[in-house]
């Protein structure tokens, strides 16, 4: 199927989402309306089947062959379009979209929307661009991202080293690691190989976005509900201010990226 024909199929649904968003401040309006999210929907329609469980083609280590092979260009074309409108780097949006599609196939009851991952990625690291960094083609920031030492200082939780400094470079205290800011002991449980290259690397946004998606689903259950979404985000960072920030950015991204004429948000997100 050619991309222009497919764009025509999904644009009507996306415009409907955008129109209903006008005047609505809550992210849950988006989540409740999108029973099959836009990203997972376009992947499914391209082949008439659920998204492949081993990730979308085009990432390092992907080994699909024959009839199962899916051209990655629609994913990137959507990411270019939506990323420009929402103000999200294309490479980051590809990682969030891939995670949504895979979780949608593995755990359809979760109803995770990519904008939730983007909201977290924005708050945690500006999508891997914090401090002037760039997100490389392999999904890793140009300079590794480490949080502050969790040494029990003012308003800081004390977590002594759990990984011998292997992930965070600190043999005394743990530090959050990578563009989605996983603590090493959490990564030991939730770490995922999101791009099929045989490694679970929290510095790799493909892996980190997939791990975050699965972590959120496990914590929140159905993320299209207010209670489920709140529970998931607060399990990631138990802070009401964090919850507000992620909600605001995720809602803005979902609205700004809808297909069709520019939305009331001005068609641009902020990171």
Q: What is the pTM of this model?
A: 0.73
User: Is 172 among the domain residues?
Assistant: no
- Residue 239, in any domain of the structure: yes
Per-residue pLDDT tens over the stretch 108-167: 999 999 999 999 999 999 999 999 999 999 999 999 999 999 999 998 889 999 999 999
Residue 271 belongs to a domain: no
For residue 85, the enclosing domain spans: 3-134+179-256
Structural domain includes residue 244: yes
Quickly state the pLDDT bin for 184 (edges 50, 70, 90): very high
Asked whether residue 173 is domain-assigned, the answer is no
pLDDT reported for residue 73: 61
Residue 183 has what pLDDT?
95
In a domain, 145, yes or no: no
Q: Quick check: 147 and 176 in contact, CB under 8 A?
A: yes
Helix (H, G, I), strand (E, B) or coil at 175: coil
Q: Measured between alpha carbons, how far is 169 from 100 in angstroms, rounded to an integer?
A: 30
| Alpha-carbon span 51 to 85, nearest angstrom | 25
Q: Please count the structural domains in the chain.
A: 1
Is 27 a domain residue?
Answer: yes
Alpha-carbon gap, residue 117 to 250, rounded angstroms:
8
Distance CA 24, CA 175 (A): 37
Is 120 a domain residue? yes
Lowest mean pLDDT among 20-24, 39-43, 107-111, 122-126: 20-24
Residue with tokens 């802070």: 239
Cβ atoms of 246 and 269 closer than 8 Å:
no
């Amino acid at each position: 199927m050619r991309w222009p024909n497919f764009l025509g199929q999904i644009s009507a649904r996306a415009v409907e989402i955008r129109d209903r968003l006008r005047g609505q401040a809550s992210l849950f309006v988006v989540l409740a309306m999108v029973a099959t999210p836009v990203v997972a929907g376009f992947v499914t329609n391209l082949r008439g089947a659920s998204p492949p469980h081993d990730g979308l083609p085009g990432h390092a280590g992907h080994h699909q062959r024959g009839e199962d092979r899916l051209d990655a260009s629609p994913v990137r074309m959507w990411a270019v379009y939506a990323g420009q409108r929402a103000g999200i780097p294309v490479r980051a949006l590809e990682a969030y979209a891939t995670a949504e599609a895979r979780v949608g196939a593995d755990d359809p009851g979760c109803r995770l929307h990519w904008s939730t991952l983007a909201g977290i990625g924005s708050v945690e690291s500006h999508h891997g661009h914090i401090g002037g960094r760039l997100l490389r083609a392999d999904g890793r920031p140009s300079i590794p991202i480490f949080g502050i030492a969790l040494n029990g200082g003012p308003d800081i939780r004390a977590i002594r080293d759990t990984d011998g400094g292997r992930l965070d470079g600190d043999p005394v205290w743990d530090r959050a690691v990578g563009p989605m800011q996983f603590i090493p002991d959490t990564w030991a449980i939730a770490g995922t190989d999101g791009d099929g290259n045989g490694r679970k690397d929290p510095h790799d946004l493909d892996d980190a976005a997939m791990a975050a998606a699965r972590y959120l689903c496990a914590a929140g259950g159905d993320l299209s509900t207010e209670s489920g979404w709140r529970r998931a985000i607060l399990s990631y960072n138990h802070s009401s201010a964090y919850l507000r920030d992620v909600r605001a950015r995720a809602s803005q991204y979902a609205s700004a990226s809808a297909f069709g004429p520019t939305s009331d948000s001005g068609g641009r997100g902020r990171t």
